[in-house]
């Protein structure tokens, strides 16, 4: 059992704190946001994440998990995880490092000799090297241990990640740091999860490279969707066939509206900015194209809407199903669905958006749109239906029932989530991205 502090209790930190308590560690979660801490203390995560409320209550009831705004509480811990955000900077593509720097600054006076600070935030390569000297001055050590969690699967991804990556310094200090992390992650290691030790820069790059690869895979299939549109081919069948080659793999080849969220878009942009600083911008120039292909899918969806409404969406009623950037999440950061809804509203459409979880967040960032609490309400009287986030309840919609609610039976499937045959049989005009 290790006494752990987690600095930053947003998505990553709250899940990490609760997950570490669930495997027997003593955990104190610290955040500067008093509202967030109060919510977590009442077992209410400030975001939707399956399984997390249960872990928060079990942890706090067992006495192994607590939350506070007082950084002084970190004194009691021997291992300190830095889990604050690195959002896209306001004035450029790079990551805003203010939260990481502030977290480490506030942590320094709390460190004892022999403590280990563990960075988990996604950072530009070179960050650990920059932060390490001040930590060593306190007699403590720094490790970089990137996370790969997906929203909606955050608990399982934290407890059973695909791999543990430790970025540690060379020599004895690094071995001691790795041994401490092995104690923290003993549960996962015993379950057979691989562990890889590297230098700081490599560990930092693993995370950015992985997200860049995933984004590239999605944009690759979406580029093929553009070719399918130009040639009359079907991207869903193409993806199926490509995926049967083990070297390619079927995962992350779902063509549609493309990627959004708090990670992939900002991570590829920050990677380009950092590569530029390092004089290696040519190496990741293709990511500019990955970003551009991704954003073009949103325009294509708006085009399809225009086409189906005889050239203009102005004054027409459009039902948008989905506001979150992906299903099983209430996160609307860089959400393709919400972006398309706003583009349509700017062209004068009467857009009504439904989402099972993300309405509160959507209302906050896009107050100009109309919202409906159920799909049925959004569909009523619609001239056009857009499926933009593939929640299970939207996939399972009955085309007959939906047809009875709308004014015109026209659907644009932005996620290739509906069965075209079923919808066409029910009298719908079915349009999708990358399909004839």
Q: Which stretch binds ligand UDX (CB under 6 A): 48-56, 98-106, 145-153, 401-409?
A: 145-153
Of 44, 138, 150, 250, the residue at the interface with ligand UDX (CB under 6 A) is: 150
Sketch the per residue contact string, 238 through 277, with ligand UDX: x for CB under 6 A, - otherwise. Answer: --------------xxx-x-xxxx-xx-------------
Other C-beta atoms within 10 Å of 53: how many?
Answer: 15
| DSSP conformation class of 78 | S
- 151 binds ligand UDX per the rule CB under 6 A: yes
**Residue set of the binding site for NAD(+):** 31, 36, 86, 122, 151, 266, 333
According to the binding rule CB under 6 A, does residue 55 interact with ligand UDX? no
d(CA 364, CA 349): 20
> Residue 287 interacts with ligand UDX (CB under 6 A)?
no
Spell out the residues 6+ positions from residue 310 whose beta carbon is closer than 8 angstroms to its own: none
Residue 261: CB minimum distance to ligand UDX, A? 4
On the CB side of 4, how many CA atoms lie within 13 Å of its CA?
30
CB of 290 to ligand UDX, least distance (A): 12
Binding-site positions: 31, 36, 86, 122, 148-151, 207, 252-256, 260, 266, 326, 333
Catalytic choice (9, 83, 228, 263): 263
> Which lies closer to ligand UDX via its Cβ, residue 169 or residue 256?
256
Q: Answer for the pair 45, 53: CB distance below 8 angstroms, yes or no.
A: yes
Please confirm, yes or no, whether 263 is among the known catalytic residues: yes
In the complex, minimum distance from the CB of residue 80 to ligand UDX, in angstroms, rounded to a whole number: 21
Site for ligand UDX in 185-224 (CB under 6 A): 211, 214, 218
386 touches ligand UDX (CB under 6 A): no
Distance CA(306)–CA(398), nearest Å, equals 25
Q: What is the DSSP letter of 278?
A: T
Give least dist CB 51 to ligand UDX, A: 15
Q: SS3 for 221?
A: helix
Nearer to ligand UDX, 74 or 290 (CB): 290
Q: What share of the chain is helix, strand, coil (3-state, %, to 5)?
A: 50, 15, 40
User: Which among 422, 417, 430 has a CA at the least distance from the CA of 255?
Assistant: 417
Q: Please state, in angstroms and rounded to a whole number, the distance separating the CA atoms of residues 161 and 19.
A: 12
CB of 300 to ligand UDX, least distance (A): 13
Closest CB to ligand UDX among residues 180, 342:
342
Beta-carbon contacts of 421 under 8 Å, excluding residues fewer than 6 positions away, are: none
CA-CA distance, 118 to 30, in Å (whole number)? 15
Q: How many residues does the chain have?
A: 436
Number of residues located near ligand UDX, criterion CB under 6 A: 19
CB of 26 to ligand UDX, least distance (A): 26
Q: Tokens 């189906």 correspond to what residue? A: 308
Q: Which is nearer to ligand UDX, 179 or 292 (CB)?
A: 292
| Binding-site entries for substrate | 148-151, 207, 252-256, 260, 326
Which stretches within 50-170 are classed as H helix?
A: 52-62, 98-107, 127-137, 154-159
Number of neighbours of residue 143 by Cβ within 10 angstroms: 27
- Residue 261 and residue 326 in contact, taking contact as beta carbons nearer than 8 Å: yes
Q: Which of residues 291-350 bind ligand UDX (CB under 6 A)?
A: 325-326
Residue with tokens 């400030």: 46
Is the Cβ of residue 180 or residue 297 nearer to ligand UDX in the bound state? 297
Q: Chain centroid to CA 422: how far?
A: 32
**Region binding ligand UDX by CB under 6 A among candidate stretches 144-152, 314-322, 392-400, 417-425:** 144-152
Q: Which is nearer to ligand UDX, 120 or 352 (CB)?
A: 120
How far is residue 105's CA from residue 159's CA, in Å, rounded to a whole number? 28
Sites of contact with ligand UDX (CB under 6 A): 148-151, 211, 214, 218, 252-254, 256, 258-261, 263-264, 325-326
* Residues marked as catalytic: 263
């Amino acid at each position: 059992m290790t006494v752990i502090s987690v600095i930053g209790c947003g998505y990553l930190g709250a899940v990490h704190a609760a997950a570490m308590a669930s495997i027997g560690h003593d955990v104190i979660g610290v955040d500067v946001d008093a509202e967030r801490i109060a919510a977590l203390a009442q077992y209410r995560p400030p975001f939707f994440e399956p399984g997390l409320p249960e872990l928060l209550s079990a942890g706090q009831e067992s006495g192994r998990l607590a939350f506070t705004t007082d950084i002084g509480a970190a004194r009691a811990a021997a291992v300190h995880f830095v889990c604050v955000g690195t959002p896209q900077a306001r004035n450029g593509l790079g990551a805003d490092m203010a939260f990481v720097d502030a977290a480490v600054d506030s942590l320094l006076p709390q460190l004892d000799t022999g403590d280990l600070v563990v960075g988990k935030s996604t950072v530009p390569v070179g960050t650990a090297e920059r932060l390490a000297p001040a930590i060593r001055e306190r007699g403590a050590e720094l490790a970089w241990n990137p996370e790969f969690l997906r929203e909606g699967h955050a608990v399982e991804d934290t407890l059973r990640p695909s791999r543990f990556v430790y970025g540690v310094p060379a020599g004895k200090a690094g071995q001691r740091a790795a041994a401490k992390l092995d104690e923290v992650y003993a549960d996962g290691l015993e379950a057979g999860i691989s562990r890889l030790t590297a230098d700081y820069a490599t560990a930092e790059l693993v995370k950015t490279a992985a997200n860049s690869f995933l984004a590239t895979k999605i944009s690759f299939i979406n580029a093929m969707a553009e070719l399918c549109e130009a040639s009359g081919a079907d991207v869903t069948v193409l993806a199926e066939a490509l995926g049967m080659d083990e070297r390619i793999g079927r995962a992350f080849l779902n063509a549609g509206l493309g990627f959004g969220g708090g990670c992939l878009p900002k991570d590829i942009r920050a990677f380009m900015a950092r590569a530029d600083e390092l004089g290696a911008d040519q190496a990741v120039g293709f990511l500019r194209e990955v970003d551009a292909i991704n954003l073009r899918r949103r325009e294509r969806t708006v085009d399809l809407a225009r086409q189906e409404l005889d050239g203009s969406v102005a004054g027409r009623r459009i039902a948008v199903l989905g506001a979150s950037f992906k299903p099983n999440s209430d996160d609307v950061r860089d959400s393709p669905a919400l972006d398309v809804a706003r583009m349509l509203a700017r062209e004068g459409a009467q857009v009504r958006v439904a989402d099972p979880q993300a309405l509160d967040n959507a209302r906050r960032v896009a107050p100009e749109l109309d919202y409906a609490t159920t799909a049925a309400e959004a569909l009523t009287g619609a001239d056009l239906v857009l499926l933009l986030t593939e929640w299970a309840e939207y996939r399972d919609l009955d085309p007959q029932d939906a047809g009875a609610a709308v004014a015109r039976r026209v659907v644009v499937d932005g996620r290739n989530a509906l069965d075209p045959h079923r919808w066409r049989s029910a009298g719908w005009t079915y349009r999708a991205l990358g399909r004839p």
